[in-house]
Structure 1
Amino acid sequence: MEKTRYLVVALGGALGAMSRYALSRFVNSLVPFGTVPWGTIVVNTLGSFAFSYLLFAALERLELPQEYILFLGVGFLGAFTTFSTLAYEFFALLEESFFRSLVYLFLNFLFGFAAAYLGMILGRGKLS
């Protein structure tokens, strides 16, 4: 059973990493060159919402098997969101513009926490 859980996490992680790469590249292709890396902001915002929604819904309303949570939460969303890319892009922007690097960091945290809060509210089913 333990080996199955590792496999479930690995499969979710592979799909999450590929999805992050594809979505980030797509979003960045739509944004003019020279702005902040919107692809990472979008990915982390969506991931923050989805992870928060999944955990609060799973803990409080749904009876999901642990393998589903491992696949979606630990695997897919763990690989989909990216703190390391955020850190790298922050320091790359910092070399170009102090202001843009702070805007980038602020937007990541603002959107990420707002999305996680919304995910918590919706996950609990208490939006009324």
Structure 2
Amino acid sequence: LPRGEGAAGTGGGRGGKRKRAGAEGPGDSDSDGEAEREERLLETPRRKKLKSTSKYIYQTLFLNGENSDIKICALGEEWNLHKIYLCQSGYFSSMFSGSWKESSMNVIELEIPDQNIDIEGKWEPFF
């Protein structure tokens, strides 16, 4: 067979249009295939736009406190947080390791005697 031509009716090879399986017979056309394709696309749910890792961590682990393993109480607020992230700070890393009583506690009450530290700037060093 010459290049670009397949067996009779198949349209195989380069340059020829292929027929989809089951799309034979009168009344079938490319526009029917397009309509089916559009229908399928309309029914397909769109994927959620993924957040950047840092935004996801901030939203899910810090703001929502999902699967937290420690509660920190300070400045009249409570936060459900994660030791693994808090340990990035030397303060919390020391607190949760060794023989400190806080290393085995699930709720930590922090007293902050410095009047210059308020609720507005509480987690600035961590994020």
TM-score bucket (shorter structure): under 0.3
* Higher helix fraction (1 or 2): 1
Larger radius of gyration: 2
* Higher strand fraction (1 or 2): 2
TM-score computed with the length of structure 2 as normaliser = 0.19
TM-score computed with the length of structure 1 as normaliser = 0.19
